[in-house]
Each structure stands twice: as C-alpha cells, then as structure tokens.
Chain A
Amino acid sequence: MLKFDTSRKRLFGFLFLGWILLILSDRIGELRQYQGAFVAMYALAIASIILLTGYSGQLSLGHSALMAVGAYAGALSINNLKLHPAIALVIAALIAGLFGLLLGYAAARLSGPYLAGTTLALAVSLPTIANQFPILGGEQGLIFDIGVPPARLGEDFSLYQWFFWISSLTALIMIWLLVNLISTRYGREFRALRDNPIAAQLSGINIGRKKAVAFSLSAGIAGLAGGLLVMLISGVSPSAFPLSLSFLLLAGAVVTGVYSLKGVILGALVLVAIPEIAESVVSRIGGSEGFVTSLPGFMVSALLILTVLFAPSGPGHLLHHKKHLKH
C-alpha cells in the first residue's frame, strides 16, 4: 500500500514538473529554450552514467561513443528509411542498447581500471570508424532534421521551443521509468551488485548477465540522448562525440552525486552553465583565444576534483553531512 503511494506521489511529482516546464517554455526566450533542451538532454545522458556507475558499479568513459551509435542509427532511420523522427529516436535507443549489450558482456569481466581504459579506447576509436563508411558521411557526417513544429501549435511556436518540448518530455519519461525501475527488486539487485558482488552472487544473482543488462540499459539511454543531441545541433558527425563528451558526462554524474538519480538536473545545469560562466568571466577579464577555449574544460575539471575531495557523495550529501556534524 505504502509502495503504491510513493510511486503515485512520484508520478504526480513528474507530472507537476512537466507542467511547470510547459508553462515555463512559453515565458522564456529562444536562447533559454535552446539551453533548456540541452539541460534535458544532458540530464538524460547523466542518468545513463548514474545507472551504470552508481547502481551497477561499472565505470564507462565510452558513453560518447554509445551516444554516437544512437545518433547515427537515428540519422539513418530518418534519412534513408524515411521514418518518423519519434520512431527514429526509439531506434537510436534500441541500436545503442543492443551495441551496449555486446559490449556489456565483455565489460562484465573487467574490473575498474581495465574497464575504464577499454571504454576510453572505445571512445577514441569508434568515431574514427564513422569516417570509413560512405553511408555514414565521413567527416562531414549526416544531416539530422526532425522538421518544423506542427502547424497547430501556432505561428509563434519556435523550433527552439519544439526542441525544448521534445527533449524535456523524453528526459522526463525516461528518468521517471528509471526511477521506478530502480525502486523495484530489479534495481535493488543492481545495488547489491555494486556494494557487494560476492554476496550478490551467493544470493543467486547472475552477476555477469546483470552487469551486461545494466550496461545495455545505460547504453540505450545514452543512445537516446545522442539522438537528442544531434537533433539539437541538426547533424551528426564524428567530431560531435569527442572523448571530452564522455568526460563531461562523468563530471556531471560525479558532481550530481554518482549514487543517486535525484540530482541529474543539477548536474546537467552545471554542464550547460559552465560555458556561459566561462564566457562571462572572459568578457570581464578578457583573455587570449586559447584562454577562452580552455576555460570551460578547466572549470569542469577543477569542479570534479573539488567534488571528489570535499563532497564525494554529491553536494546534497555535503549538506546532509554538515547537519549531521552539528548534532
């Protein structure tokens, strides 16, 4: 009974959040709409990292590559198969998930640093493969065009608002599904896997399969986020998925507190805000082109180190911890 209540509360929470975003989307400018769409996309991508690292104890630096897989699959579905963009996004998730399943079986056998290095190698090598198949469009890549917003939304309804709607709706639905999944027995088994693999194995959980499934789920969500990303930038190319994207997502997840889905929006906001903060810093103090381009990376990295040192479980935990100390 109690469980039903929490899940119903959660549903209302998500609906409420969606309603707020809907109202908000009418009152903000195009730039904020566009940034909001990025926040939603990052939130989804960060959620995929948290599912993997926070809930199943695996570490991936290859999620930029998995996002690329989803993005290319989505682009091909639209351009070559002439499918509806919504279906293309579903396909993006499915193909990336399938790819993740294959990878997950290999990854399940690897411990921390090996897995990190291997996924790093994936992130570096996979985009170069895209250059080799003409169907993938080489360095230029492919167009990813979802078309104009439906006419019934009115003439004032901009493309950016349309992006914002699609991104936010997708992220809300997926994260809601994830949160529900994690509170089931299935999700608890994930956590058992992370906290004590040996005990999990003894209690009859098939670790290898479980890890592979977690990897696949995470890859699917990353693929979907990849689809959203290329929708926002209207095209897919190898250079849209550099290793630094993986790093950015990991940073977002760590800053959020890797072990809880609660703060994904915060992490995503940080990722979108940092370039803007960097820009305003530069406009005040000025600086060379190298300084301008390198500042966001510096800020993300520094934030990451500070988080590991001072708030290893995320900023939420830091507050909690402080309260604890006062007792």
Chain B
Amino acid sequence: MSLIVTNLTVDYGAIRAVNNVSFEVLSGQLTTIIGANGAGKTTLLRTLSGLKESENGVATWNGDAILGKKPEDLARSGIMHVSDGKSVIAELTVKENLALTGLWRKDKKDVANATTEVVDLFPILGERMTQSAGSLSGGERQMLAIGRALVARPKLLLLDEPSLGLAPLIVEQIFKVISNLVKQMKITVVLVEQNAMGALKIANEGVVLNLGSVVAIDSAETLLNDPAVRAAYLGF
C-alpha cells in the first residue's frame, strides 16, 4: 500500500511546472512536499487528483495507475484532494458541504457515523451546521474542507496548503489534527506546504521541490537538520 510517483512531468501552459519528479509515500505515513512559491507543488497535487493532465510519467496508488483518471472517480476510490483557498462551497450550509462526499456512498449508516466523527473532531462545525459556509472564519473553513474529505473515509489525503492565511494558533491546531489523522486513523497523507517548518515537524518524509524539480528527498528529521534546507526554506 503506497503512492509511487515515477518521472512525472507536467506543463502549466508554456511552463514546465513539474519536471521528472519521482517519490514514494508509504502507507500510513505523512509526506510533506515543500518549496517556494511556484515550485510546482500545487500542480503536482492537482495532477495526482486528476484535475490536470500530465505530459509524462507514472503514478500508482496501491499498484493501480491513477494518472488520466477523472477526479470524481479517484475521489470515489479513496483519494481525497483538499484544494487550497476556496475549497468549501460558500453558498451551501456547513451541513450540506459535509454531505457532498456522502452523496455517492452506498453505506449511508457509515456516512452518518463518519459525519458524527468529524463533528467530534471539530466541535465548532457542529455548532454551525445550519450556517452558510461563507460565514465561517478561515480556520473553520479549513476544518470543514478536511472534515468533508473525512466523511468519504479516504485512504489517501492530498492536502494543499491547509495553513494558508491562518493565524499561528489555528495553524498549530490544524497540523495537530493532520498528524492525528495519520497516527490514529491510519490515513496516508501528502501535505503540500509553504510553512516548511511546521510541516516537517509532523511529517515522516519530506520532498523539497524547486522550479518543478526534486532537490531533496529524505526523512523529515534529516531535512530539518540539513543546513542547506534550513537556509533555503526554514529561514535560519
């Protein structure tokens, strides 16, 4: 059980956004992909979730090829992508947002259970069930987006910059939740982050991207202590 990406190349318009990238994410582990703005992190994630076509390369999840499949099919097979920024539907209520990933699931009882678990995990969502998602704060929106993914009982979670634009306290809380998803629920997570420090602290492995290419892959601990990585991405 693992995600294996081999020689993946993706163009974004005329730009080569992801260039010959290979890495592996072991089941039940958290791998973070870090790098500066424009390093190709988001494009990489969008390719893995089927939103973007690749030029070259292979990606498999548990041995099944995932490139070229439709995002909705990948989502139904347990690969959930929580995209950055506006990934909640502001016009729908919190309850309706959470219901989206349960619409197509056959096991309605488990959908109800999963929803209860999400509300236990993020009690604030339970208080705001009937409010529109547009009225939530940035942190609450991120919780809702992750919560919605969890209702589908995902096996692989692709998270795109969950800390973006959030207050430090909230960021800490979100990272803690993500860490628990891996440790307690055994979900495999690929976490794309600009906040390299926070991400590496909870990750097992780290992939450093620069201008679309992998410049370093190592255990998170090693990367945290690597002087070059520290200087370039952690700022000290």
Indicate yes or no for A touching B, C-beta below 8 A: no
| Chain B interface residues toward A at CB < 8 A | none
